[in-house]
């Protein structure tokens, strides 16, 4: 039986190029929305933002992007996420619109959450993306912070992670499912995966303290995982590098996580 936490790509994508679509309604939560759009050169995708803010992440390929008041032409840093060059992204506030015109084959992530106003559309260039190596040994991974809490937005947090073969990430296990600051923030989260080579898979476990939710998932290239609550570590099998794009949002725009007490002893070893 397929897990309700795994969202596959659509068997019959629409003419708009949408191959994966998560809405708050389909996920059964309140904040995070996530789409993946695949376009050929010359094709376009457009939408109104309405009451939601959007971060357009050019996962691979080049494009022209325009909003109601601004435009950026010939942007795009990589033809595959596994080039590991930080991506170009565009932040679009609520009550705005955008159009993306593909100049090459394009994979576009559309990350969204409730907006609050007071922000302008802006380009997030590769040099504005914070890059860090987190963890050590078999817990080491490359993190590229596209839209962290230190950069202006109302709800959205967006980050991408590269996990080398045989390594773990989102690890030691942590969660952020309680609105209990300063100890923990409530953030819904999606993971969107790519695996290299593409026939591989990632392993992700999602579990709560009382184990009312406890699933171990084999996630294929191009699939997404919903994390409505609980701890959510990821493992990359030997021979396969794992990429994922995280989108988080909640009532307060801060990432304050709570560690699984059973595994907190690992923290002195992670750096």
64 inside domain: yes
271 inside domain: no
248 inside domain: yes
**What is the C-alpha to C-alpha distance for residues 87 and 101, in angstroms, rounded to an integer?**
17
pLDDT at residue 271 in the model: 45
User: For a pLDDT cut of 70, what percent of the chain falls above it?
Assistant: 98
43 inside domain: yes
Interval 119-164: pLDDT, tens: 999 999 999 999 999 999 999 999 999 999 999 999 999 999 999 9
pLDDT at residue 270 in the model: 52
20 inside domain: yes
**What is the C-alpha to C-alpha distance for residues 209 and 146, in angstroms, rounded to an integer?**
30
1 inside domain: no
CATH number at residue 162: 2.60.120.10
pLDDT greater than 70 at residue 1: no
Interval 197-221: pLDDT, tens: 999 999 999 999 999 999 999 999 9
pLDDT greater than 90 at residue 80: yes
More confidently predicted of 128 and 266:
128
Interval 230-241: pLDDT, tens: 999 999 999 999
Count the domains in the chain. Answer: 1
Place of tokens 């750096």: 271
Angle at the Cα of 83 from the Cα atoms of 88 and 175, rounded to 5 degrees: 75
37 inside domain: yes
Exposure on the CB side of residue 50, measured as CA atoms within 13 A: 6
Pull the structure tokens for residue 110: 């559309």
Range of the domain at 157: 6-266
What pTM was estimated for this model as a whole? Answer: 0.96
pLDDT greater than 80 at residue 111: yes
Interval 170-192: pLDDT, tens: 999 999 999 999 999 999 999 99
Pull the structure tokens for residue 22: 């998560």
pLDDT at residue 269 in the model: 57
pLDDT greater than 70 at residue 73: yes
241 inside domain: yes
**What is the C-alpha to C-alpha distance for residues 197 and 71, in angstroms, rounded to an integer?**
35
Pull the structure tokens for residue 14: 């629409």
pLDDT greater than 90 at residue 15: no
């Amino acid at each position: 039986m397929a897990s309700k936490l795994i969202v596959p790509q659509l068997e019959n994508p629409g003419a708009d190029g949408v191959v994966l679509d998560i809405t708050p309604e389909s996920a059964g939560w309140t904040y995070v929305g996530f789409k993946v759009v695949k376009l050929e050169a010359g094709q376009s995708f457009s939408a109104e933002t309405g009451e939601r803010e959007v971060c357009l992440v050019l996962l691979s390929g080049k494009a022209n992007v325009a909003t109601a008041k601004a435009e950026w032409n010939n942007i795009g840093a990589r033809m595959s996420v596994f080039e590991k060059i930080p991506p170009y992204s565009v932040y679009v506030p609520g009550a705005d619109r955008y159009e993306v015109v593909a100049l090459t084959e394009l994979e576009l992530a559309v990350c969204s959450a409730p907006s609050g106003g007071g922000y302008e559309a802006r380009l997030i260039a590769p040099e504005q993306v914070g890059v860090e190596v987190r963890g050590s040994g078999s817990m080491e991974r490359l993190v590229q912070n596209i839209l962290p809490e230190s950069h202006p937005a109302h709800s959205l947090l967006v980050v991408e992670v590269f996990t080398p073969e045989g390594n773990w990430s989102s690890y030691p296990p942590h969660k952020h499912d309680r609105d209990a600051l300063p100890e923990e923030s409530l953030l819904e989260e999606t993971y969107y995966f790519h695996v290299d080579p593409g026939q591989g898979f990632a392993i992700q476990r999602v579990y709560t303290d009382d184990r009312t939710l406890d699933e171990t998932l084999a996630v294929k290239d191009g699939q997404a995982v919903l994390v409505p609550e609980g701890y959510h570590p990821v493992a990359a099998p030997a021979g396969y590098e794992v990429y994922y794009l995280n989108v988080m949002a909640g009532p307060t725009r801060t990432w304050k996580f709570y560690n699984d007490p059973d595994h907190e002893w690992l923290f002195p070893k992670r750096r």
